[in-house]
Amino acid sequence: MSDSINKKVEKLIAGMSLREKIGQLNQPETPTADNLEEFKAAVAKGEIGSILMSVGATAGNDAQGEISVDFYNEIQRLAVEKSPSGIPILFGRDVIHGHRTVFPIPLAMAASFDPELVSQSYRDTAVEAANDGIHWTFTPMLDLCHDPRWGRIIEGPGEDPYVGVCMAKAIVKGLQNADLSDEETLLACAKHYIGYGASEGGRDYHRAEISDYTLYNYYLPAFKAAVDAGALTVMSSFNDISGQPITSSKKYLTDILRDKLGFKGFVVSDYDAVCQLIKQGVAENNEQCAAAAVNAGLDMDMHDKCYIDNLEKAVKSGAVSEDVIDEAVRRILTVKFAAGLFDHPYAEKKNIDRGEHLVHARQMAAESMVLLKNNGVLPLDKAQKIALIGPFVHERRSLLGSWTIDGKAEETPNLAERMKEASGNVYVINTNPLAWDSTNKNIAAADVVVLALGESWTATGESRAVSDITISADQKALIRKAKTYGKKTVGVIFCGRPIAMEDIAEDLDAVLYAWHSGSEAAGAVTDILFGAVAPSGRLPVTLPRKATHIPLYYNVTPSGRPVDCYYGENPGNCYVDSMPTPYYPFGYGITYTEFEYSAPVSDKSRISLSDLKGGDTVQVGVTVKNTGDVDAKETVQLYIRDEVASMMRPIRELKGFKKVLIPKGKSAKVTFDLTYADLGFYDAGGDYRVEKGKIGVFIGKNCLTQNRTEIEII
């Protein structure tokens, strides 16, 4: 930060009482009528540094009131004009994947493999949210996850560290833009640091067991990318790692986050995480909780009042040094200055034309959807008679997904509306089994049946783990029932998490994985089904055959026995009662044309380690030809395998992708520059190394590609 900001911060700290300092570390939620006067009094005394603009621990699944800009300006005026030091309050809200305009859930956006489009989505989001007086949002969520039973997998980038890195950069860039002090920006918050997505069994809030080697190579890269991209806040996670709660861990919050990753901003706890140290068994009372957390490097306490109620006592007892308090305040004030909060503390609400944002939302949704199967039925012809059936035909709210606080279901077109707009030959069929006899004439007369299937938004998000990742038995029965008419049948699946595809995909002629894709989900589906848009999404997660096969992820290390079943090696030796290969692997997706790849070619087959470390690269490329008759985008993916290393390395590691529009009948040359940063790994101490030896380089359509060349580091 600039010397000017540093001087202002130090001047403020020098004039603050201990109580005021601790107030800057205190983040309560929005007051209710019952405690409003008490709340205002605390603001006027300088005892509140930030406000969580919601109510409840699971705000993403609980109804929240609309934002009153006048109300928050009134609160801010008390802080600026009445409190002893006149420090403005930082207003934070869960603006996770859109504000009034809702974009696809982050997992779906990861499926677009289009960081620039993701960044644009969050630019639009920041403009809308900042207009409502929001300064700070608790995203990006960067929890790598291998277990789709976890309801919060929908908020993250999936199973791959490199995709997480790309999403982190894109989201921070979109939210914060080039100038954080601009009034149309939001402070980003990288969460949940760290290992929350590794909760055992996908059970929310549970323990995780992560070695340091795995931590540095799988879980930390996205957080490092967010820090490098300029994220100035980080949210700590609820979980422990190997018996050490993150909330009170100096190792994770200071030694790794600050010293290793170079983070300069402030850390906020998750909701009530400080007081839960008692239940986690590492503190006896709230004073011990507060002391342990602040000494570990946790700067701001969300909601539970442990800091404001106990840190004065902890300082007096010697359990916490006032220097530790000062450092936490210093970080928070520095961020407030960087965000321009002192220059423009009040919101001035303007009328925003959301038309362009909705156009972007429809594009983002379409680019995120993944065509998994197509036996010649798609795209549909508008002259065809189409029977539209299923529980998601008229659904609005679930299209928006969980963690949608400010989007409006009543403004969200449903699939029936968008399909009927596109064609006069769409007939909506009642899905009530008792009514099938009266509607089966329309099905019998149809050329194609489109089934709108999925899971409710209430089945995903925080505290929404499930034990069985599949659609309901009723929906599976609906698929079988529709097939009895002998028609080509298309399944459109609106889900937040990955689902088990066995007993679903087999009975469908085409499958479009549409996710919970936001305000324009129905329009994007319609565009794809009728061929106005060629699908281009690719899976950022593996879709298993059965729920019992999870965790199942592509970047696994090899077994010492010949049972690398993800890659088809002796699958019968993994499970004797089922096929353990993925139904659809990481990176998979098809479109309305075919692409033909040349063999990969590199500009050099050998490179010295010293030259590589000095900045030289290896360029590897392929020629991709569109052999069909539709212009379409292909996501060209590059994976590596470190054949022999001092530590076991994954069978495949994604190290690059490029989404390229290739006209029909044309070819495109796609190249990648492999650098020192791409060809190594972190050891258990967090030190990066590149070792001499052979590296397999694979370029193709998904992680299972065998299109390979080899380079050697000498």
Q: Which of 486, 529, 492 is nearest to 382 (CA)?
A: 529
Q: Percentage of the chain with pLDDT > 70?
A: 99
The three-state secondary structure class of 19 is helix
- Check whether 225 has a pLDDT greater than 90: yes
Q: Show Cβ contacts of residue 140 under 8 Å, excluding neighbours closer than 6 positions.
A: 106, 167, 168, 171, 172, 188, 190, 191, 222, 226
Q: d(Cα 256, Cα 402) in Å, to the nearest integer?
A: 31
Same domain, 545 and 457: yes
Q: Which residues share a beta bridge with 640?
A: 653, 697
Q: What is the pLDDT of residues 401-415, one digit of tens each?
A: 999 999 999 999 999
Average pLDDT over residues 425-453: 80
Q: In 139-178, which residue ranges form alpha helices assigned H by DSSP?
A: 161-176
State how beta strands 708-713 and 653-662 pair.
Answer: unpaired
Domain range for 404: 362-549
Residues 518 and 373 grouped into a single domain: yes
Task: Look at residue 437 in the predicted model and tell me its pLDDT.
Answer: 58
Whether 477 and 606 share a structural domain: no
Count of Cβ atoms closer than 10 Å to residue 69 Cβ: 15
Instruction: Give residue 436's pLDDT.
Output: 55
For residue 57, the model assigns a pLDDT of: 78
Residue 54 lies in a domain: no
Residues 396 and 509 in one domain: yes
pLDDT digits (tens, 9 = 90+) for 72-126: 999 999 999 999 999 999 999 999 999 999 999 999 999 999 999 999 999 999 9
Residue 442 has pLDDT above 90, yes or no: no
CB-based contacts of 215, cutoff 8 Å, min separation 6: 194, 195, 241
Report pLDDT for 438: 55
Residues 537, 618, single domain; the answer is no
Cis status of the peptide bond prior to 115, with omega within 30 of 0: no
Strand duo 26-27 + 301-302: pairing: parallel
CATH assignment of the domain containing 685:
2.60.40.10
Kindly state whether residue 538 falls inside one of the protein's structural domains: yes
Domain final position from 516, 549, 582: 549
Detail the DSSP E strand segments found in 124-173.
136-137
534 and 674 inside one domain: no
User: Is pLDDT above 80 for 440?
Assistant: no
Mean pLDDT for the stretch of residues 639-662: 97
Q: What is the Cα–Cα distance from 45 to 89, expressed in whole angstroms?
A: 12
Query: pLDDT tens digits for 252-290?
Result: 999 999 999 999 999 999 999 999 999 999 999 999 999
Tell me the pLDDT tens digit for each residue of 304-336.
999 999 999 999 999 999 999 999 999 999 999
Residue 88, in any domain of the structure: no
Cis check: omega of the bond before 192, within 30 degrees of 0: yes
Model pLDDT for residues 356-374, shown as the tens digit of each residue: 999 999 999 999 999 999 9
Q: Are 305 and 25 in contact (CB under 8 A)?
A: no
Rounded to whole angstroms, how far apart are CA atoms 140 and 385? Answer: 43
What are the tens digits of pLDDT across the range 589-609? 999 999 999 999 999 999 999
| CA trace torsion 349, 354, 360, 363 (10° rounding) | 140
390 closest CA partner among 450, 458, 470: 450
Same domain, 399 and 545: yes
Q: What pLDDT digit, counting tens, does each position of 452-489 carry?
A: 999 999 999 999 999 999 999 999 999 998 989 999 99
CATH number of the domain bearing residue 543: 3.40.50.1700
Query: For the stretch 290-303, what's the b/e string if a residue is b when 16 or more beta carbons lie within 10 angstroms of its beta carbon?
Result: bbbbbbbbbbbbbb
Which of 488, 521, 549 finishes a domain? 549
Choose, from 94, 270, 509, 678, the residue flagged as catalytic.
270
Please give the DSSP secondary-structure letter assigned to residue 534: -
C-alpha torsion sign, points 670, 675, 680, 682: negative
Percent of the chain with pLDDT over 90: 94
In a domain, 305, yes or no: no
* Among 583, 512, 596, CA closest to 554: 583
- Statement to judge: residues 600 and 652 lie in one domain: yes
Does a structural domain hold residue 291?
Answer: no
Q: Tokens 């595809």, residue? A: 501
Amino acid at 72: Y
Same domain, 617 and 515: no
In a domain, 296, yes or no: no
Check whether residue 616 and residue 709 sit in a common domain: yes
Question: DSSP class of residue 506?
Answer: G
Mean pLDDT of the chain: 96
pLDDT digits (tens, 9 = 90+) for 37-52: 999 999 999 999 999 9
Lowest mean pLDDT among 59-63, 145-149, 330-334, 413-417: 59-63
Sequence-distant (≥ 6) Cβ neighbours of residue 495 within 8 angstroms:
454, 455, 471, 513, 515, 516
Count of structural domains, the chain: 2
Establish if 697 belongs to a structural domain.
Answer: yes
pLDDT greater than 80 at residue 512? yes
Helical packing angle, 306-317 and 322-338, nearest 10°:
140
Active site annotation includes 270 = yes
Whether 600 maps to a domain, the answer reads: yes
Residues 603 and 531 in one domain: no
Position 372, amino acid: L
Q: Which residue among 484, 518, 549 closes a domain?
A: 549
The Cα angle at residue 482 between residues 480 and 486, in degrees rounded to 5: 100
**DSSP character string of 368-422:** H-EEEEESS--SPPTTS-EEEESTTSS--HHHH-SS-SS--GGGS--HHHHHHHH
- Residues 527 and 369: their CA atoms lie apart, in Å, by 11
Q: Are residues 503 and 612 in the same domain?
A: no
Give exposure, 580-608, as e/b (b: 16+ Cβ within 10 Å): bbbbbbbbbbbbbbebebeebebeeeebe
